Structure 1
Amino acid sequence: MESSDVKTAEDVLALVDERALTHVKVGVFDIDGIFRAKWMARDKFASALKGGFGFCDVVLGWDSNDQLYEDPAVDVTGWHTGYPDAEVRLLPDTARDVAFEPDMVMVLGEFAGKWEAVCPRGTLRRVLDRADAMGFAVKAAAEYEFFLFDETPHSVREKGYRNLKPLTPGFFGYSGIRSSVHADLHLMFLEMCELMDMPVEGLHTETGPGVMEAAIKVDDALVAADRAALFKTFTKVFFQRHDIMASFMAKWSMDYPGQSGHIHTSLTTKDGAPVFHDPNGAHSMSDTMRWFVGGQQALMPELLSMTASTINSYTRLIPGFWAPTHANWAADNRTTSLRVIEGSPKSQRVEYRVAAADANPYLAMAAAIGSGLWGIENRIEPGEGVTGNAYAKKFPAKAALPGSLGEAAARLKRSMAARELFGDGFVDHFSASRMWEEREYRRHVTDWELARYFEII
């Protein structure tokens, strides 16, 4: 049996026994999209498949630096609860082989019980349940830009994250030279992605030293999110094993464009018939697609913290650097935050371009899809489509994107639409976690402040 054949608990246990594995790798993704994993003994794994298992809920009570949220607004866990074990259910149909661990099987989990309300994967699943209740299935795909550095986790710390050496020099997008020089490395990388069921449709150099872009194959939205989350994790693993570091920071240097995590989405009926395409509509958009885009545009400022979730994310959202500054749309125009891609019934889709590479893929997809469904439910008409350079145009004040993580988190907390789509538990927890991130940032003095104020002011 192959891991791709696994559908049930019985299937995955049969695969484990066929390979004579003593342990299985299991893991969950936390609120920041970080993979928290461990090896589990075969007998405990068999038991967990039936009744779930406990995973210390501190992973929902700390930030990306393992610092506890000292914030009473974070209610699901904390010192006041004693950090008990959270309930986790295993998902046999996520089983896959693990690169670099011969014959190893990995299975993803979701938080359950009271923790389900704040589970990133569970949040997306609830959005997809909403689509199902509306009669739709959702197709999605993520594409990521990431920088590669001739560095190690030790060397970047020894350098204080300064004077880092990109894997390749200069601006050289779509370079046949760079990809050929490093062909052995990149082909091994593509092979790993296939092995782990996160197939890459396209891989090329982007504009900037050492930067790559990868487009992951389209699939059902929950599968696409699993692939995206694992892609970010195991891209880092693969390159670190070759003494190279991959970074998905939204912007590591103000000298270069930021790194996006664009999301492509489309809807079908439950039997697979596309619903976004209408040959008689403007840009071949059906009413359903137009309302979907309208909802995405209307809610984008309120949901921005779910797609631009770090302090650094907001350094990317500036004019002229291939990232949007307002909630707007256009047909096949990369200066807007929503790009309608006109094509055949099967390929007609919308690209959610505001999302950064540093976002949690489950939450970014939940925002992109949930807002679109809300648009359909409320028949929200989008504003006028942009022609030409969106950076050179003026838009209504309501279309402006929040300029900081703190502002974006406050908008999310106040959003009634977000609470309707994702639940009060998620909105309160996630907005509190982002406000914590903002406060942690304000506790530090930056190099820019020292250089600007130390002597002169």
Structure 2
Amino acid sequence: MSELTRPRRAVRLEATNHEGSLLGKNVSPTKFRVGKDSGFAFADILFAIDLNNEIVLGDAFPDWRGNIYDIQMVPDMATLVEWRPGLDSVIGDYWLKDGTPVPICPRNLVRKLVARLAERGYDATVAVEIEATLFEESVQEARERGYRDLTPLGGSAGATYHLARSSDWVVYMDAVVERLDQIGITWEAWTDEAAPGQTELNLAPTDPVRLGDSWARTRQIMREVAFELGHTVSFMAKPTAGFGQGAHINISLNSDSVNRFFAGEGPSDLMKHAVGGLLATMAGATSIVMPQITSYRRLVDLTGPPTTISWGVNNKTAAVRAITGHPKYSRLEYRLPGADVNPYFAIAAVLAGVLAGIERQIEPPEQVTDMAWCLPASSGVSRIPDTMSKAGAALDADPLLREYLGDEFVDFWVASRRWEWMEFHTKGGDPFAELSAWESQRYFEFP
């Protein structure tokens, strides 16, 4: 029985907004057959509201946005899967009525950069390490508590790779990977992470658009499984005052099925130029890959996340780690993104940096061979912007990211982060707290 004739009760249309939340609507099978080619109407307001459904003001409103016009979500039939019996799901892109992509459509932004890489003769292979924290309480109880003082699932001890987690934690992760297998998302490994209740789930390398799709769907699956088992999960960059959590992106470039980041000894010239571009754009990209107020609470020396604009061969304290010496596995690990990032925007930021480096043959600075944390100013290694305001200003002033991501995207994003900063400072956020109640309420369940 074909995908289009198999019995179903509904089809769920899916796409992320700029905040990385997976949005959608359920349509009847008849409605889906009628609209699958022309697309389905979504109000443009989805790009004009924040995580609290407030209208974001303070930026220019292009003629396609701001008056609750309809934009079209056109499904990508290659993503159609049976989500559960009777319900299919399909991921799509946002398009304008004239047939051009919405300039800030997350998925189409990745497509644009993939096409630019292809013009250079390269295709990218990317993978991600997703971190999340699991809690015993149901989401209803978590809401009643304001997402504070929750009980880590699996025990209160935190120790990376520990096998002593209680069975409820293992049952949850087993259920997650079973669901991933059912809908065809290839995963490679999962383990406990440093914080109590924290897990890391690694998705297998694939092309950039497909990885974005799998990443967004994996977060949705992890939420649904938590709900079904009476637990809750958060992708906040720092859901408790303890350890933060990230989403490391691994990338390699190929041509003629050969990994061009591989060289006989150390990084290839292409890899070095990719590093150069990633570091040259890192200050501005910080705003994109660390999107929320809480994202910046991760940036603490000696706790795991990078704090300097740095790179090094097999150096996990640097922001970009080069893995070399293997014809298949040579790659770059971009360690900056938080777990709260929009998957597509994170991938786009990495692709933009890589493209800038290889097209301009940007040479990287000297690699850091020792610990990249706590470096003095005299080292010449810059710190990663440690506030939303600093990162937004860096993005606003970055000509490379403006070129590769587009002025309209950059202007939109910077304005949205200024709005987020204002909301935090005028509606109850506490910049001096380890983690304010305002942040827990706003970010715990999102993206």
TM-score by length of 2: 0.91
2:49 to 50, 62, 68: 62
1:31 Cα deviation from its structure 2 partner: 0.3
1:74 Cα deviation from its structure 2 partner: 4.5
Q: Does 1:246 align with 2:228?
A: no
What is the one-letter code of the residue matched to 1:60? F
Q: CA deviation digits over 1:11-70, x for unaligned, max 9?
A: xxx4131x2224211111100111111111222212222212211111111112222112
What is the one-letter code of the residue matched to 1:444? K
Report the Cα distance in structure 2 between the residues aligned to 1:159 and 1:182, rounded to whole angstroms.
21
Count how many residue pairs are aligned between Structure 1 and Structure 2: 429
The answer to whether the 8 Å contact 2:176/2:221 transfers is no
1:363 Cα deviation from its structure 2 partner: 0.6
1:222 Cα deviation from its structure 2 partner: 1.1
Aligned to 1:164: 150
Aligned to 1:376: 358
Distance 1:40 1:134, change over 3 A: same
Report the Cα distance in structure 1 between the residues aligned to 2:237 and 2:263, rounded to whole angstroms.
36
The answer to whether the 8 Å contact 2:126/2:206 transfers is yes
- Segments of structure 2 that go 5 or more residues without pairing to the other structure are 435-447
2:70 to 85, 95, 100: 85
Map 1:27-176 onto structure 2 (within 5 A): 27-75=14-62, 81-98=66-83, 101-113=84-96, 116-167=102-153, 168-176=155-163
The answer to whether the 8 Å contact 2:76/2:90 transfers is yes
What is the RMSD computed on CA atoms of the aligned residues? 2.0
Aligned to 2:279: 297
1:447 Cα deviation from its structure 2 partner: 5.9
Structure 2 SS opposite 1:263: strand
Report the Cα distance in structure 1 between the residues aligned to 2:200 and 2:428, rounded to whole angstroms.
33
The answer to whether the 8 Å contact 1:249/1:312 transfers is yes
Aligned to 1:287: 269
Report the Cα distance in structure 2 between the residues aligned to 1:76 and 1:305, rounded to whole angstroms.
25
The answer to whether the 8 Å contact 2:287/2:395 transfers is yes
Aligned to 1:333: 315
Q: Does 1:424 align with 2:407?
A: yes
What is the one-letter code of the residue matched to 1:323? P
TM-score by length of 1: 0.89
1:414 Cα deviation from its structure 2 partner: 2.1
1:72 Cα deviation from its structure 2 partner: 3.8
The answer to whether the 8 Å contact 2:308/2:383 transfers is yes
The structure where helix makes up a greater share of residues is 1
Q: CA deviation digits over 1:332-382, x for unaligned, max 9?
A: 111110011124111000000011100101011111121011101111111
Aligned to 1:403: 386
Aligned to 1:16: 4
Report the Cα distance in structure 2 between the residues aligned to 1:449 and 1:345, rounded to whole angstroms.
48
Q: CA deviation digits over 1:251-298, x for unaligned, max 9?
A: 1223x22101000000001x3221110104xx2x11101100111011
What is the one-letter code of the residue matched to 2:422? R
Report the Cα distance in structure 2 between the residues aligned to 1:150 and 1:363, rounded to whole angstroms.
31
Report the Cα distance in structure 1 between the residues aligned to 2:204 and 2:421, rounded to whole angstroms.
34
What is the one-letter code of the residue matched to 1:212? T
Aligned to 2:198: 211
Aligned to 1:4: none
What is the one-letter code of the residue matched to 2:342? N
